Amino acid sequence: MKLLADLGMFFLLFIIGFEIDIREMRKKGPFIFRASFFIVAVSTVLGAATIYWLFGYDPVLSFLVALSFATVGEAILVPILDEFRLMRTRLGQALIGIGVIDDIVEIASLMFAVVLIGSGDIAAAVVSVSVLFFLTLLFSVFEEPLRLRRYVRKFAVPGIESLFLFVVFVFFLFLGIGGFSDSSSLAALLAGVALRALIPEKRLRIVESEVRTMCYGFFAPLFFFWVGSTIDFGYIVSYPLAVALVVAASAAGKLLGSYIIGRSEFGTRGSLMLGTGLCARFSISIVIIKILFDAGLIHQDLYSVIVASTVIFTISIPLIFSRMVAKWKV
């Protein structure tokens, strides 16, 4: 069960990396970049201060935990934006754009977690992580001058099966390299980033659909089941104030940061809608918290509170955001 749950975590990270489009990220305007890093910075500072004061963890670990749940699950917002025809509006583009740029923070927080966990063999760790980043840069940045896609197209003939097997091969190749330095989680994320840039455009959606089916149809539910089985619900029931404070700190950081930097662009209502939408979370925060918990860096109390707050945001934010959009029509 533990092995299947770990595979679920790796496939989730792979899907997140697969959604990172480096070419699209380069096109984002300066406001999106400024807003992304400012909002994440405010959320991280408030979250780290709350964790440090409430649970007594050291500042570095408090910062990492806060950084992990300061990220945005923009995938939750896409159906709502599409339903209300906000995808092409300035607010919709800001929400999606910040979610895309936010992927940089997700990679940074995951790298930070890998460094904290560490590896017994420092030389192997340096070589392993260096090889991972070299392959990622080779596939995603230097793909065009090296014309790597023309070689990948051979795997698409006669059908999608061979290309899908190639994707699975690269995925486990990255995991194998990352295994030398206890950085398999980072390897899974980078495998998604590399393959996104490498697969021909005509085959991209088909491959993504196949991988999503395998991930969300089998492995991901096992991972979330494993996360749920390790939560101490007794602590949550006994200390609901801790959950409420973490939820309040996380929401306050997003709302405050969005209001400060977005009021001139969207007005008061628009900036509040931006902050509310950015409170949505998805799998990456749970994955990082689970990695830290398995490594023994955080304890049952903080782990249970963070997972509980993530569940609260996942359920409530789509309802609140939909209500705000329907009522304010910004």
pLDDT digits (tens, 9 = 90+) for 19-62: 776 666 666 667 788 888 898 899 999 999 999 999 989 898 99
Q: Specify burial of residue 233 (Cβ count, 10 A radius: 0-12, 13-18, 19+).
A: exposed
- Domain spans, the chain: 2-328
**Exposure string over 181-206, b if 16+ CB within 10 A, otherwise e:** bbbbbbbbbbbbbbbbbbbeeebbee
Please say whether the beta carbons of 178 and 127 come within 8 A: no
Say what the pLDDT of residue 255 is.
Answer: 93
- 278 vs 273: CA distance, rounded Å: 9
* % of residues, the chain, pLDDT over 70: 86
pLDDT digits (tens, 9 = 90+) for 172-221: 999 988 887 777 888 888 888 888 877 777 777 777 787 888 887 888 88
pLDDT digits (tens, 9 = 90+) for 215-253: 878 888 888 888 888 888 888 888 889 999 999 998 999
| Fold classification of 2-328 (topology level) | Na+/H+ antiporter like fold (1.20.1530)
* % of residues, the chain, pLDDT over 90: 10
What's the whole-model pTM score? 0.76
pLDDT digits (tens, 9 = 90+) for 66-87: 887 777 776 677 677 777 777 7
